[in-house]
Amino acid sequence: MTFDTILTAIEATLTGPLKNEHMHNFGPTAVLNDDLHMDSVLMINLLLHLETDHGIEVPEREFSKDNFHTVSDLINLMMGVDTPSTSDATAPAPSDITVHCLVSCLCAAIRRTKGVDFRPFYFGTWDSSFAITGDQRFAYHSEDLSHDTYFEWATHLYGLPITQWYDHTRSKAENLTHFETLVAAKTPAQELMVILDMYHLPERENKFNQNPFPHFVLIEPTDDPDIWLLNDPDYRWRGQLPRTAILNAMAQPTVAGGYILDATQVSPPDPAVLAEYFTESFKGADNPLTTALRGIVEYHCDAAHSARLANLQQALRELPVLSLRKYAYEHAFAFFWKQLDTPFEHFDAQCDRVEELCESFRKIHYLAARLSHTKDRAPIAELFTALHALDVLEFEIKHSLKAQFDLWRAKALTPDLQEEPA
């Protein structure tokens, strides 16, 4: 298989089955995410069509986006040609990990106080809540999900005052008018947090091509009343956008809510309270995302309802958003690494296992999508074997993290304050 053959197959797939709207940017040097707007789900679909429609073998190796940036990189990867890696130079620091938009917004306020470590606030985010629809599909956002626990702990741990400015008893128009007055009167100490539908902000890249794409961000005024500053802490993006565009994204029926954060009263967490937070959030006997993933796969692979298999790929559409939360483990390991002053190599090894975990989710997603696409039930056993390995790996990570927590607790707390996590 030659470079040009694969290039032609990619172009045909993007133009045909995937109906990519950005083909005017296509070429060997086109950046997959920025130029072609290819998110992880679209990449899975591209690889599936290359394998099943064009007979191009997808190699059994990591398909993390760190391994390919452009169309040319992807082709070389599929041909087994090693290309110079820039991952060491460009890999995000532990403080720059995309995990959870709401938690990242709260941490943005916490981080403004010098000397306060925000990383413990990510404890448990690796197992944060999600929804499963009646037809057994993942949903990372739902009206039934509550964020109250995060707000309560942000105040309890860090003293961060949080006030809900959005009044759900009033109309959307009234709330947006109220928000405009809040932006105009914003003080330097405040953070104005809103949830908006990123799909309706074409000026801001929608990394996951979700529709809808509910997402928490922070809004600030500028010298121009018609231009606002959008700060997206989770994706580390700050930029000026038209006020009307932001208000339109907030006005969508898919989203409603917002909060005022007061950064002036933030202080470091008390070790005893921090230990309580870890204890309450740590689920050592379960991996909820994998448990739910296994249940969804079992439902759609049920031989007694063979038609369900075709819907498995769509059922996992939002899995990439949920599996990103596993990077919260790195925040926890980074905190204990600094607190315990252990060798960097130990911390780095844990980060490698977390990356392996996230990559395993990507591989399982691909296996499930291929099942759904081909309707070939033969690899179902392989999929369940991979799910079991995923569970084992995450339990190993949790075991290591719990051991570090125990060491930290012994150092930070007196014995009478110690309590064992479940």
Three-state secondary structure along 238-304?
Answer: EEEEEHHHHHHHHCCCCCCCEEEEEHHHCCCCCHHHHHHHHHHHCCCCCCHHHHHHHHHHHHHCCHH
d(CA 316, CA 335): 32
Domain that holds residue 234: 98-125+132-265
Domain count, the chain: 3
Last residue of a domain, one of 226, 247, 265: 265
pLDDT of residue 90: 41
pLDDT of residue 224: 97
Residue 422 lies in a domain: no
| Ordered per-residue pLDDT tens for the chain, 422 residues | 789 888 999 999 999 888 888 899 899 999 887 788 777 777 888 888 888 888 888 776 555 555 677 899 888 888 877 665 444 444 444 445 678 999 999 999 999 999 999 999 999 999 999 999 999 999 888 888 889 999 999 999 999 999 999 999 999 999 999 999 999 999 999 999 999 999 888 766 655 667 788 999 999 999 999 999 999 998 888 999 999 999 999 999 999 999 999 999 999 999 999 999 999 999 999 999 999 999 999 999 999 999 999 999 999 999 988 999 999 999 999 999 999 999 999 999 999 999 999 999 999 999 999 999 988 899 999 999 999 999 999 999 999 999 999 999 999 986 655 555 55
As a residue count, the chain comes to 422
Query: What count of other Cβ atoms lies within 10 Å of the Cβ of residue 381?
Result: 9
pLDDT of residue 94: 47
Whether residue 226 is found in the same domain as residue 294: no
Whether residue 251 is found in the same domain as residue 102: yes
d(CA 359, CA 42): 16
Whether residue 113 is found in the same domain as residue 210: yes
Using a cut of 0.75, tell me whether the model's pTM lies above it: yes
Whether residue 119 is found in the same domain as residue 26: no
Whether residue 247 is found in the same domain as residue 111: yes
Whether residue 46 is found in the same domain as residue 102: no
> Containing H/E element for 177?
helix 172-184
